[in-house]
A and B are shown apart, each in its own frame.
Chain A
Amino acid sequence: LYVVGSRPSDAVRLQQAVLEEVAQHPGASLSSLPGDAERETARQMSRGRFALLTIETKESRRWRVTTAGVPLREDAHRTGGTEEIGELTPESLRDGSWKTAKPRAYNLSLQPPRIVAGRRHPYRSFLDGVRAKLVSLGFEEMHGPLVESEFWNMDALYMPQTHPARAIHDVYRVETRSHAGDLPAPLLGRVAAAHERGEGCGSRGWGYAFDRDATARLVLRSQGTALSSRWMAMHAKSPGKYFAIARCFRPDVVDATHASDFYQVEGIVIGTEIHYGHLRGLLEMFGRELAQAEACEVRPGYFPFTEPSVEAFIRHPRIGWMEMGGAGLFRPEVTTPPGVKGQVIAWGLGLDRMAMVALGVDDIRDLFATRLDTLRKMRSAPLV
């Protein structure tokens, strides 16, 4: 406060006065300070980072009935008056005091306080709905391992080992265990023969030397059809309808349209009289039942394991035309080695897009959001 050798300024003298007053009478009111200048100084000293004192503001109120209210007060006392209560209590229920009280009405224009509550994850709930619908259509659910051998994931599906989609950048290999130890030997032999010469299938085959080491290599399941391939060989019956909602993995840069792992909904329909017309019928049924489609069209497609193959498009009442998925009849090179009786329709639906539209999500990564606020704001799929 002092600069050596000079006299204190007016401001400094005021500050000294305030400090002395507060030191002698802590908790004194602001009005006990002698003048306006002192009161203003005190206010300044209570602000900022280096405040030297604090000023507490206390509000006190007093109520008084006005002259206009006096007769009303007397009136109330005469008629017994009703007391307004905010809440019922166990006591007032016991002693009956509620009978002489009037409930205080709520202000309906106020928003109620937000609560924290549980609910199903909207995306998972959407998939639950897909499962329920498929079960109701007579489909049995398949399941299998996340880590799969190339045998089931590709070779048993007659995908040639030289196919571009088997390159190092199209499927995840496993480092911690490189090869499977449990491939079924007789089936493996028949599949190898199918690839090499089409033997037993009435086919020419792909005409290359089948690599028995590569077929045992382990990958992260890259397509749901790997489950169909397993199931067809081990469990499926004819006639039969099967589905899986399977988490799959493909190497891709993760961005707004690509997730690190994603769901595929796919399956098979087996029967002795099944043909291309039924394939179209199946796709139309899916469009109608799963996506409220008004129309379903097909156009030629290609998969190494089906022939013929189609891509399916549906017309949604709000969104218009969109791709729904693909389907085809399994080639004889796929159905003969496991000894399947009849024809097999293999179908697959890309529902992530539909889910994103239903949930109002633009970025596919938000389907597995890692921030609670993002999740809480996500709406549930419309009930239809």
Chain B
Amino acid sequence: MPTLDIDRSDLNLLLGRSPGDEELHRLLEGRKAEMKGQEGPLLRVEVTDTNRPDLWCAEGLARACRPPRAYPCFEPGEAALGIRAGASLRELRPFVQAFRARGPGLSAGALAALIQTQEKLAENFGRSRKTVSIGVYRAGAIRFPVSYEAGAPGEPRMRALGDTQIRTFTEILRAHPKGIEYGTILSPGKPVPVLKDASGTILSFPPIINSDDLGQVRVGDGDLLVEATGADLDAVLLVENILAANLSDRGWIVEPLATEYPFDTPRGRRVRTPGGWGEGRCPPLEVPLGEFTRLLGETPSDEEAAGALRGAGHRVQTGKGTLLVTFPPWRGDAMHPVDAVEDFLLARGAGSFPPRPLETFTIGRAASASRVEDRVRDHLLGLGLEEIFSNLLCDRVSLRDRMRRALPEPVTIANPMSERFACLRDSLLPGLLRMEGSSGDARYPHRLFEVGEIARPDAGAPHGSRTLCSAAVLVAAERAPFTQMASLLAQILQWLDIPYRLQEAPDGTYWEGRHAQILLGGTRAGSIGEIHPEVMERWGIRMPCAAFEIDLGSPFGLSPA
């Protein structure tokens, strides 16, 4: 969900008018964007559609708010040879496409926008430059055709953008900030992609960094080469199309160029940039009028549907009850007719289709697990106990070291944000003990309970663990003897009509001789006893405690998830 900083006056220039705040809000809303605020001349805009990279820039948002116009650069036509791609990069990063554009010199605002768009596209759409990365160069000094070849890391040397010295690629990887950030995309020691012009001057090491002379675009530049490289040809071309449309919108003339490949690509061996209508990720979609009915509950006429879609920038051919819809070249989201129907919905207005009540009768039902939990909670409340509600995530120390129990490892997160929230609880007692440990100042007695989900490690389960329902009670008071807990347990199980037995079994959490395991139908289903003083010390508890915990799954026939 990219967030953009857009110069408001630049946006107004592209829109061709200056809408007030409220109107701008509405315009952006209709394009799934939200105005988050304004600081000085810059608007903060959040764009939610991750499948519409064309909207991640001021030009794209403005384009979606204006009536459509013609773009000559996307029409079929000849393209001079711009780049010769080498076979050496076929495995590594095969595709490179570029176009040239000439126009009024870049204003500061337009340059800032171009840099931001480059960043957003390469980061979010290009997956941190892995799938697509972009380079922009001053075209005037470039000798065409450009070559795209692999170089050995120790050989090609250039002064990188923002650097003071000429270095080899390996040195750049180590010393330059971009090298450090993006170097992992390329395998160490392997050949590196090098973009060079016909006279041998290095333009850049895609996807890492441009050179400092040809690769440094400045305010006032009016002749640019816009390039993209990557492993997915359609993605590369989509990005190029977006940038071509953006510059066209600013009044620039886009000059298509072609790349020649020594191997077959999905679009042949000579591929033109920008791509044209109906290619790559936006082939024409056949949209039967029935799709509109199915999704919207209304059937528009051919003309109404076609008109709305054309207003949104599509090319539409009407036929017998079907529309042939071609999305513009800067969009890559035409997968299924529903995508065209949504554009029709947006053009008409999301609020223009009235709400309809649901008419089918269905019977409502709570899940068995919820009903069991609620029954047990009712009984515990009836005994005057206070309900607590804890996080499911906790730390390993709480689940193991502090409990004096040797058990298999709890479900542990491989990429936790902090140690405090690194495991899924496999018991409710730690949560109760944590509450007690931080509540020494609350009026006593403390008679607490929790009923809820736990994740018990189970090597035999398909997910390595089972999600179960558990219930636990903790009493902290000046006198918290085993007998009291046993009476509570007996009362609950009597109300639930579950026969049980207590039996001796070792359990480090409790004080020796003052605890038992709970057996339901002969199987171990829980534990009960006075908490071991050492456990209380580890939790910082100074009041005697007794507890029990019981598995609710087996007595009620709940199958674990």
Contact = CB atoms under 8 A, between A and B. Distances in A.
Interface string B371-413: 0001001001101111111111100000000000000011111
Interface in A245-285: 247, 249, 251-254, 259-261, 269, 271, 273-278, 280-285
A253 B358 CA distance: 40
Contacts of A331: 336, 338
Interface stretch (B73-81, B175-183, B200-208, B440-448): B440-448
A280 B464 contact: no
B364 interface: yes
Given A275-B295, A307-B339, A121 B358 contact: no
Contacts of A370: 390, 434-435, 438
A332 interface: yes
A31 B479 CA distance: 45
A281 B355 contact: yes
A373 B442 contact: yes
Contacts of A208: 232
Contacts of B234: 207
A184 B295 CA distance: 30
B455 A302 contact: no
B70 interface: no
A114 interface: yes
Contacts of A198: 335-336
A204 interface: yes
B369 A163 contact: no
B360 A271 contact: yes
Contact of B32 (A174, A301, A343): A301
A77 interface: no
A172 B336 contact: no
A302 B50 CA distance: 8
A301 B31 CA distance: 9
A198 B283 CA distance: 14
A372 B281 contact: no
Contacts of B326: none
Interface stretch (A4-12, A16-24, A142-150, A314-322): A142-150
Contacts of B370: 131, 141, 143
A121 B417 contact: no
Contact of B464 (A119, A147, A343): A147
A142 B387 CA distance: 24
A140 B362 contact: yes
B191 interface: no
B52, B362, B393, B412 interface centre (most CB from chain A within 10 Å): B362
A373 B52 CA distance: 49
Given A121-B387, A205-B335, A141 B367 contact: yes
B127 interface: yes
A10 B413 CA distance: 77
A231 to B, nearest CB: 11
A351 interface: no
A62 interface: no
B423 to A, nearest CB: 9
- Chain B's interface: helix, strand, loop or mixed, by majority? loop
B52, B283, B435 interface centre (most CB from chain A within 10 Å): B435
A118 interface: yes
A120 B386 CA distance: 7
Interface string A8-52: 000000000000000000000000000000000000000000000
Contacts of A207: 234, 281
B356, B358, B443 interface centre (most CB from chain A within 10 Å): B358
Contacts of A72: none
A254 B356 contact: no
A169 interface: yes
B334 to A, nearest CB: 7
A241 to B, nearest CB: 5
B467 A145 contact: yes
Nearest to B423: A176
B350 interface: yes
Interface stretch (A81-89, A95-103, A292-300): A292-300
Contacts of A147: 411, 424, 455, 463-465, 467
Contacts of B386: 116-119, 372, 375-376
B424 A300 contact: no
A118 B360 contact: no
B435 to A, nearest CB: 6
A276 B295 contact: yes
Given A118-B386, A137-B364, A162-B127, A376 B442 contact: yes
Contacts of A162: 127, 131
Given A204-B336, A304-B51, A370-B434, A180 B355 contact: no
Contacts of A118: 380-381, 383-387, 447
B417 A239 contact: no
B294 interface: yes
Which 7 A-B residue pairings sit nearest by Cβ, starting from the closest? A177-B464, A182-B462, A280-B355, A372-B439, A277-B356, A135-B364, A175-B414
Given A140-B365, A205-B335, A251-B416, 9 more contacts: A121-B387, A128-B374, A140-B363, A176-B464, A177-B464, A198-B336, A277-B355, A302-B32, A307-B341
8 contacts: A146-B392, A206-B335, A218-B464, A241-B364, A261-B392, A278-B356, A298-B351, A299-B351
Interface of A: 114, 116-121, 123-124, 128, 131, 134-149, 162-165, 168-169, 172-178, 180-182, 198, 201-208, 218, 220, 239-241, 247, 249, 251-254, 259-261, 269, 271, 273-278, 280-285, 296-302, 304, 307-308, 310, 329, 331-333, 343, 367-368, 370-373, 375-376
Interface of B: 1, 29-32, 48-52, 124, 127, 131, 232, 234, 281, 283, 293-297, 334-339, 341-342, 345-346, 350-351, 353-367, 369-370, 374, 377, 380-381, 383-393, 409-418, 420-421, 424, 434-436, 438-439, 441-448, 453, 455, 457, 462-467, 561
